[in-house]
Chains A and B, each alone.
Chain A
Amino acid sequence: AQSVAQPEDQVNVAEGNPLTVKCTYSVSGNPYLFWYVQYPNRGLQFLLKYITGDNLVKGSYGFEAEFNKSQTSFHLKKPSALVSDSALYFCAVREGQAGTALIFGKGTTLSVSS
């Protein structure tokens, strides 16, 4: 069965500093990995995904994520955090075949202070 773990409920970072939001996954086959962001009272917005190829994936709003197969991780990163990045971030996995649903982690609240 697929599963996703986000070990940190909250991440605090100062504006301008780099940020990392951690995610590990478990699937029986090849994974498709996704990051979403949720702002208050809004739906989830897609940020980026890893399908295959380059382990470093670039996405929206300056975010990127690094896929590490040996550590089964897909951490979200940004070189310089903005106060406006403060939101709830979800990592999700879909096993590498058509027809399966996205399974989400519990989410990590990112708080960027000015």
Chain B
Amino acid sequence: DAGVIQSPRHEVTEMGQEVTLRCKPISGHDYLFWYRQTMMRGLELLIYFNNNVPIDDSGMPEDRFSAKMPNASFSTLKIQPSEPRDSAVYFCASSLRTGNTEAFFGQGTRLTVV
């Protein structure tokens, strides 16, 4: 398996524009996680899915953020409208069903909002 695949790797957008980040989890993994990494706040959990269903979105910072998982092999994280403070590295990760298994991370998307 190629691992968790995220696209794009880098995104530069203007304030107010819509941004969509994409993730393909490892085949067979039931859990998918979105994290955000910043210098100030470290690695924050935004939302996670189990079998395509959102389980906990309490980490989503504002209504401008939304995430979907229409099928087992694809998820999106959308920011609309984007703001400069959304600039960060966004990671997607996936793991198997059981709680004692590690999560595997994608390479991340570096988002810059100017």
**Contacts A99-B50, A101-B56; is A90 near B43 (CB within 8 Å)?**
yes
Q: Does A63 contact B (CB under 8 A)?
A: no
- The docked-state distance in angstroms from the alpha carbon of A46 to that of B105 is 9
Count of A-B contacts with CB under 8 A? 58
CB distance B106 to A105 under 8 Å?
no
Q: Which residue of B has the minimal Cβ distance to A43?
A: B105
Number of interface residues of A (CB under 8 A): 25
Q: Report the minimum CB–CB distance from B105 to chain A (whole Å).
A: 4
CB distance A104 to B43 under 8 Å?
yes
Q: Does A97 contact B (CB under 8 A)?
A: yes
CB distance A98 to B102 under 8 Å?
no
Q: Which of A45, A90, A98 counts the most chain B CB atoms within 10 A?
A: A98
Chain B contacts with A in 67-93, Cβ cutoff 8 A: 91, 93
Name the one of A34, A42, A96, A107 contacting B42, with C-beta atoms under 8 angstroms. Answer: A107
CB distance B100 to A46 under 8 Å?
no
Q: Which residues of A contact B35 (CB under 8 A)?
A: 104
Q: Does B107 contact A (CB under 8 A)?
A: yes
Interface residues on B, range: 20 to 34
- The docked-state distance in angstroms from the alpha carbon of A3 to that of B6 is 27
Q: Does B55 contact A (CB under 8 A)?
A: yes
- The docked-state distance in angstroms from the alpha carbon of A21 to that of B50 is 32
Q: Report the minimum CB–CB distance from B114 to chain A (whole Å).
A: 20
Interface residues in chain A, defined as those with a beta carbon under 8 Å from any beta carbon in chain B: 32, 34, 36, 42-46, 49, 51, 90, 94-107
Complex A-B: 19 CB contacts under 8 Å: A34-B102, A42-B107, A43-B91, A44-B105, A45-B105, A90-B43, A94-B99, A95-B99, A97-B99, A98-B99, A99-B31, A101-B33, A101-B45, A102-B33, A103-B45, A104-B42, A106-B41, A107-B42, A107-B43
